[in-house]
Amino acid sequence: MNALAATSRNFKQAAKLLGLDSKLEKSLLIPFREIKVECTIPKDDGTLASYVGFRVQHDNARGPMKGGIRYHHEVDPDEVNALAQLMTWKTAVANIPYGGAKGGIGCSPGDLSISELERLTRVFTQKIHDLIGIHTDVPAPDMGTNSQTMAWILDEYSKFHGYSPAVVTGKPVDLGGSLGRDAATGRGVLFATEALLAEHGKGIAGQRFVIQGFGNVGSWAAQLISEAGGKVIAISDVTGAIKNVNGLDIAKLVKHSAENRGIKGFNGGDAIDPNSLLTEECDVLVPAALGGVINKDNANDIKAKYIIEAANHPTDPEILSKKGVLILPDILANSGGVTVSYFEWVQNIQGFMWDEEKVNAELRTYMTRAFGDVKQMCQSHNCDLRMGAFTLGVNRVARATVLRGWEA
């Protein structure tokens, strides 16, 4: 099931549980605006190249729209649509005053030089600058983009609108980025996991973790879980997978991965088949890489008691409703990134920056409160955590929409 089908399915189930009016339900599904632009740039060799960029702005009932911009050769309008919609529900679950958006440019960033990427980013910004803004739509980095990309967007946007640091989040700290933003999604995963385990009288310490993916989210989650006393026994990335039943030394692994561009060859554990990683014996499984990795082919072999969805849509929702596996859904588990993006935006608007301790303390408060709100919806509607999160998010957006005078 692809991301769009899964998101729509979850939304429809939530709408049914909430008893939403069918006209309101349809209105919530349709994006507010879809933008498609042509971006033509001179390449370094003097030839011209054209790329298609787009932005899907899904909903702004609860505040400015928010979502990443990805540079990827397979930027697909359907997937971007699903991710924009998912951002609407995610920001509502986290209870931050945003709606959802997503965007991207169909290109292979690895094939472009830094100066070509800069030109492409600036042309894209010129084409959409009057459709994004501090109180309209606030982009952030995503796959294939980073803090430097945000710096270029900020600079180009400011040429039209004056100095506006709050127009993007995930910026370099020197340009008004927030401390703690880099680790935010991984730290949010830690806080969400703590909240889930506490429900069952457990803590992070002593639990065995398996983490799929060692990029920004997976590596930070591994470090923070390990510091909190959790035992990370297996990890994989694109280069391979390693296992050590006594727990991997995450600090050494981070260093090895940075020096060798991956975890392959790390001598603090045994190499295992990456395909068997998800079915390793453990307490908590954290898929932090791609979507759709837990599906009908491997679901029955999963031995974890808890699955924390650090990636977007890693679990096919049709399956794993089997007894005994508790899934903490992505729209709650990985919302730490957008929550700290919100803190960054607040700091920029106030012109007053926070220290890292305050950022992390506020993040813990938001993640723990969101988990409590989701649990309440689970009890009200007698549903699992995924439907609890979707009913919570959809209900908040629906209420805001009606209060603003939807039928006017």
Catalytic residues: 102
Q: Which one, of 7, 2, 1, lies nearest residue 394 by Cα?
A: 7
Strand order in the sheet with 306-308: 270-272, 240-243, 231-237, 208-212, 284-287, 306-308, 326-328
Q: Which helix (H) or strand (E) element contains residue 137? A: strand 137-141
In the numeric block, which tokens belong to residue 201? 């009288």
Q: What is the SS3 assignment for 258?
A: helix
The answer for residues whose C-beta is within 8 angstroms of residue 214's C-beta and 6 or more apart is: 222, 235, 236, 237, 253, 257, 262, 263, 288
H-type helices in 95-183, by residue range?
Answer: 114-128, 147-161
341 belongs to an annotated ligand binding site: yes
Q: What is the SS3 assignment for 55?
A: strand
Q: What does the DSSP 8-state code read for residue 162?
A: S
> In b/e form, how buried is each residue of 78-112, taking b as 16+ CB within 10 angstroms?
ebbbbbbbbbbbbbbbbbbebbbbbbbbbbebeeb
Strand order in the sheet with 137-141: 33-42, 48-59, 99-106, 65-72, 137-141
Q: Which stretches does DSSP call E strand in 189-274?
A: 208-212, 231-237, 240-243, 270-272
Residue 287 near residue 212, CB atoms below 8 Å: yes
Integer Cα distance of 172 and 154 in angstroms: 11
395 belongs to an annotated ligand binding site: no
Residue 222 near residue 232, CB atoms below 8 Å: yes
Integer Cα distance of 157 and 230 in angstroms: 44
Integer Cα distance of 77 and 54 in angstroms: 8
CA-CA-CA-CA dihedral for 275, 277, 281, 286, to nearest 10: -130
216 belongs to an annotated ligand binding site: yes
The answer for residues whose C-beta is within 8 angstroms of residue 45's C-beta and 6 or more apart is: none
> Tokens 């049709």 identify what position?
318
22 belongs to an annotated ligand binding site: no
Q: What does the DSSP 8-state code read for residue 299?
A: G
Residues making up the binding site for NAD(+)? 185, 216
Residues making up the binding site for substrate? 66, 90, 341
Residues making up the binding site? 66, 90, 185, 216, 341
